[in-house]
Structure 1
Amino acid sequence: MEETQLKRIANFLLSNIPIGDGVINEKRVKVFSGKLAVEALCSPLYLQKCKKGVPITNEKEALEVLSNLLEEGFYVKCKRSGNTRYFEPDVSREFTKEGFYTWVYEGSQWMTILGGVLLLLLAMTFVMFPLWPYTVRNGVWYLGMLAVGFIVFIMFLGVVRLILFVITFFALPPGIWLFPNLFEDVGFFESFVPLYEWHNSSVENVKSKRE
């Protein structure tokens, strides 16, 4: 099997199977289950995302591919030391569904390199801020003030809605929340909808979203 094909499969597994943190010889490692790897390669998602990889139609073919990855050193086999996150190296070179494996291959490094370059460019840009044209510096200053003003506005709004809730909690129980979704995990515009809501209905909405 070609190395490029193996890398495509390894990249797919890195992105599509649960990976846990483990410790081997006091070193943190990424651990995954053989069973989940087999299930991932036998799933329709593999055929969709890895069209140029090796076609896999059953569990036997999946085990053969995973054994090749093990032999080529993309990961190594390990065994759990008790019911903990600590593992020990396993000298066995046979890939099994019941086994655990730690990644040696780290995947494509292009995103890491790109992120480093962008971070360096961003740092250089701010270091050279005094050399920017006056109009650009002035525009950045106004944008910064706008961002600070927005943060102050949100803090002020948070205090106002809390005061309103405390007052209405005693005057009009169970109390009214102004912008009930303001601090919820929703989109920007959804944070300001609806305008107000009774306390009980707000709690029920949050529970339904979590479920």
Structure 2
Amino acid sequence: MSAAPRTAPVSHAPGATSSPPPSTNAQPLSHPSAGAPGGPPPASPTTLALASFLRHNGALKMRQGVLNGKRADFFRCKRALRALQSPAYVKAQKKKGSLLPPITTEEEAIVAFRALPVSSLAIRVEKLTRKSLATKRAAALAAGGPAGAAAAAKLPPESALSKTKGVPTLVFVREQVVAADDELYYVWIWEQVQLRIYLYAGLGAATVFAIVLFPLWPPIMRLGVWYLSMGLLGLIGLFFVLAIVRLVLFCVTYFATPPGLWIFPNLFADVGFVDSFIPTYAWNVKSEKKKKKGAAVGEEKVTASVSAVVAEDDE
């Protein structure tokens, strides 16, 4: 008989919606900075080392969600606990100068991970769907009174939910429970500054500096830039001419020889540069196929309805 998963509830995220903990064993734990005007305590070097190890760890299988109107990476808590007990963590912890704490059991992993929400590096969230939103609103209204009406008013409207498939809407949860549970999700609030960001910033500054010093360039370099700019302007003009010509040709062929002929039909499609010019031409038959498919579906529905009526008459 397997033991129940260990849980360790921690801080309360400010401004979060309340949600019952997934385990009856969870007991509220006071935040170290409760009542302090400065907010959460600063992260210790050990906590930052844990966050650096987990932030871009492939074992977490992070996904993107919409939190407060912005994209954010979220993950299951149980995957983070597994990563803290993995051989990769043991190897990283034994490196010289490593600040990672030794972890050998699930209880030690829970204690270590609990430092992330305490320092507001990762906060517990839940996925909000249309069904769960309707359930929360109905429960709040059923409670009655001003408190229930206020709780229902705080819920986001259905139109605010993410419309992108595979990118759910996330909301903060007040009870920050840490456990190896499938329904516990955490979102990253902390973003590790990577070296490539500094490289891009340096490259951008160097480019601006080079443009400012353009009058001091050698004459041959300035002449080369002029020819290059004229070539780019010519390509842009050719693109506009091609778009106009293909539109005029389609309008003519649409009435002369329906359903119309497109030159470079994938020119404005969401494909690569080379694929935009493949094929060279094609007839506009997509809409016709959709109409035929819709008509076939309608015929199937009518046939099914007639069959149902005939069966009822036979009975």
2:231 alignment partner, one of 124, 128, 146: 146
Q: Deviations over 1:121-179 (max 9, x none)?
A: 11111111111111111111111111111111011100000000010111111111111
Q: Which residue of 2 aligns with 1:38?
A: 79
Q: Distance in 2 between matches of 1:195 and 1:80?
A: 45
Classify 1:8/1:31 alpha carbon distance in 2 versus 1 (closer, same or farther; 3 Å): closer
Shift of 1:119: 1.0
Classify 1:190/1:169 alpha carbon distance in 2 versus 1 (closer, same or farther; 3 Å): same
Q: Deviations over 1:63-90 (max 9, x none)?
A: 9757634435542334679735442443
**1:38 counterpart letter in structure 2:** R
Q: TM-score, normalised by structure 1?
A: 0.68
Q: Does 1:10 align with 2:95?
A: no
Runs of 5+ unmatched residues, structure 1: 43-49, 56-60, 205-211
Classify 1:66/1:182 alpha carbon distance in 2 versus 1 (closer, same or farther; 3 Å): farther
Write out aligned runs for 1:132-211 (5 A).
132-200=217-285
Classify 1:109/1:191 alpha carbon distance in 2 versus 1 (closer, same or farther; 3 Å): same
CA RMSD of aligned residues (A): 4.0
Q: Distance in 2 between matches of 1:152 and 1:14?
A: 49
Q: Distance in 1 between matches of 2:279 and 2:107?
A: 53
Q: Deviations over 1:20-63 (max 9, x none)?
A: 2324xxx978362426x729x78xxxxxxx995459xxxxx899
For the 8 Å contact 2:54–2:60, the answer to whether it is kept is no
Q: Which residue of 2 aligns with 1:20?
A: 65
Q: Which residue of 2 aligns with 1:47?
A: none
Q: Which moved more, 1:79-88 or 1:171-180?
A: 79-88
Q: Does 1:118 align with 2:203?
A: yes
| Residues paired across the two proteins, number | 188
For residue 268 of structure 2, give the secondary structure of its aligned residue in structure 1. coil
**2:268 counterpart letter in structure 1:** F
Q: TM-score, normalised by structure 2?
A: 0.48
**2:54 counterpart letter in structure 1:** I
Q: Does 1:76 align with 2:123?
A: yes
For residue 184 of structure 1, give the secondary structure of its aligned residue in structure 2. coil
For residue 255 of structure 2, give the secondary structure of its aligned residue in structure 1. helix
**1:126 counterpart letter in structure 2:** I
Runs of 5+ unmatched residues, structure 2: 1-45, 92-104, 134-155, 157-169, 290-315
Give aligned-pair identity as a percent: 29
Please identify runs of 4+ aligned residues in structure 1 that moved more than 4 A: 1-6, 13-16, 50-55, 61-67, 78-82, 201-204
**More helix per residue: 1 or 2?**
1
